[in-house]
Amino acid sequence: MKNNSFFDHIEQGYTTKGEFITLGSAMYQGETVSNAFVKIPLKTLNRHGLIAGATGTGKTKSLQVMAENLSEKGIPVLLMDLKGDLSGLAQPGEEKSFITERHEKIGMPYTPQPFPVELFTLSEQNGVRLRATVSEFGPVLLSRILDLSDTQQGILAVVFKYCDDHKLPLLDLKDLKKVLQYATGDGRDDFQETYGRVSTASTGAIMRKIIALEQQGAEFFFGEKSFDVNDLCRVDEQGRGFINIVRLTDIQDRPTLFSTFMLSLLAEIYDTFPEQGDADRPELIFFIDEAHLIFKEASDALLDQIESIVKLIRSKGIGLYFVTQNPTDVPEEVLAQLGLKVQHALRAFTAKDRKAIKLAAQNYPETDFYETEEILTSLGIGEALVTALDEKGRPTPLAATMMRAPMSRMDVLNDTELKAVLEKSTLIPKYNEVVDRESAYELLNEKIAKATQEEAQQEAKEAQKKRARASSRSSSGMNPILKVLTSATFIRGVFGILNKVMKK
């Protein structure tokens, strides 16, 4: 009787009128209840979400399942692949006995299939190059990424204004560094006359922070050709959304670059995409794996920026899903904005772990069917506590869920398969050509060289004038001795002496 009551509880709580994706089937007292499907309405997927759990509990597979189901519904996805294990989405999965058995319990068939995949890169790895110009960042976002003081932010704003006024494109970091040097060097008077004095100490501090960002590989990211965020929203010939995978295996130890990329992309999407209002389906879904890398090293200003974007971007039809080990890795202000929670098992090895589990349990709706704290530590691999928002924005019942298996390969592509994906790309020819057009660096160097040349020419003219004056004096004057001997005074004196002698 209790089992029937549980089935009705789940069925009613997860009934949807519109389109949905199915994550799996609910479990009760450790057993999977067939056909008690946990369905997430497409309409609420822009309300963001969290996939959490200890290492090895199935977070990545849950991410993969969601990405596949969204792609099938024609919704493009962007995945941050820091561990390098998501490229298998481009190949069909393998029907194995344990997978078939899992799906029989759930009450749905298992159909292996590949999905349309595009591979991106921020570094020298193979893939579509993702770039943005310094100008596109703007002084506010760049200041927050660099963690500048108020004074330094003011100087950066002046630098951007100067470049706008003088039509100096800020494309990459060498452009920005050149303008900073110019502001306190050759162009000091020019700056001071219009914008006020620029402190050498402040520009030096900004320069050091830019160099630190460069050391994390930012020189590969800043520049042209800028990536058009609309290219993330493509569908294939079958109407399936592209799964865009950003390969980040070589920047795990460079969280600032990761944060820089994420924030610039989200800011560009927010500025570019139209308001959707209360739409029936999202425009694009982001999955940010190893999300703690964004928050761990972030300054207070950067956290404020992230929180603002999370709150505002859902109106553009964008859903953000953070994937991390523990919900406490995500700031409370962000966590409060997340509608869907997929919580895999947590492990209680220490007192700190037990405290974290107790806190995590408080993030979920109360239920008569589970002891939340207890079940959080007893979930098996591929099982998760799930709660979402229904179509009216209300929390759905908490469901311990047997998650369905990915339809694509649960492993990486080999070199041959990877090459085949890259060869099919229509974006690599568009974005991988290096463009280094004339920008602030070249224009200022040209201006300085011209000024130096003009100064040298002016000095040469002055020197020539001095030589001419000296030559004029030399040619028009006599030898000093001759001048004395031929002077009227001298001659009169000589004649006076001679007259006296002759009179004698």
CB 288 within 8 A of CB 294: yes
Quick one: which of 270, 338, 267 has its CA closest to 302?
267
Taking the CA atoms of residue 273, residue 276, residue 282 and residue 288 in that order, the dihedral angle to the nearest 10 degrees is: 50
- Can you say whether residue 395 is alpha, beta or left, with left for phi > 0 and alpha for psi between -120 and 50 degrees? beta
- Please state the three-class secondary structure of 250-306 as a single string: HHCCCHHHHHHHHHHHHHHHHHHCCCCCCCCCCCEEEEECCCHHHHHCCCHHHHHHH
Residue 433 confidence (pLDDT) = 81
pTM: 0.82
Sheet (strand 117-121) strand order = 31-41, 20-28, 399-403, 383-387, 340-343, 49-52, 318-324, 284-288, 77-81, 243-247, 117-121, 128-129
Which regions in the chain score pLDDT beneath 50? 1, 482, 484-485, 490, 494
| Residue 183: both structure tokens together | 């502001």
CA 33 to chain CA mean position, Å: 42
> Nearest-CA neighbor of 372 among 398, 341, 336, 401?
398
SS3 state at 5: helix
Peptide bond into 225 cis (omega under 30): yes
Strand partners, 26: 401
Report the half-sphere exposure of 450 (CA within 13 A, side-chain side).
7
- Sign, CA dihedral 22-27-30-33, equals negative
Where are the chain's structural domains? 2-117+232-431, 132-223+438-478
Containing 120, the helix (H) or strand (E) segment is strand 117-121
Instruction: Tell me what pLDDT residue 172 has.
Output: 87
* Residue 441 token pair: 């660096």
**DSSP code of residue 240:** P
Q: Mind giving me the DSSP string for 431-485?
A: H-S-B--S-HHHHHHHHHHHHHHHHHHHHHHHHHHHHHHHHHHHHHSPPHHHHHH
Residue listed under structure tokens 């956290």: 303
Q: What is the spatial distance between Cα 203 and Cα 205, in angstroms, rounded to a whole number?
A: 5
Q: Where do the H-state alpha helices sit in 31-149? A: 59-72, 97-106, 134-146
Angle at 14 between CA 11 and CA 17, to 5 degrees: 110
SS3 for 46-60 is: HHCEEEECCCCCCHH
Say if domain 2-117+232-431 classifies as CATH 1.10.490.10: no
Look at strands 284-288 and 20-28 and give their pairing: unpaired
Which residue type occupies 26?
Answer: A
Closest CA to 285 of 64, 112, 93, 126: 64
Distances (CA, A) of 134 to 180, 225, 383, 429, 446: 13, 12, 44, 23, 21
pLDDT for 473 equals 59
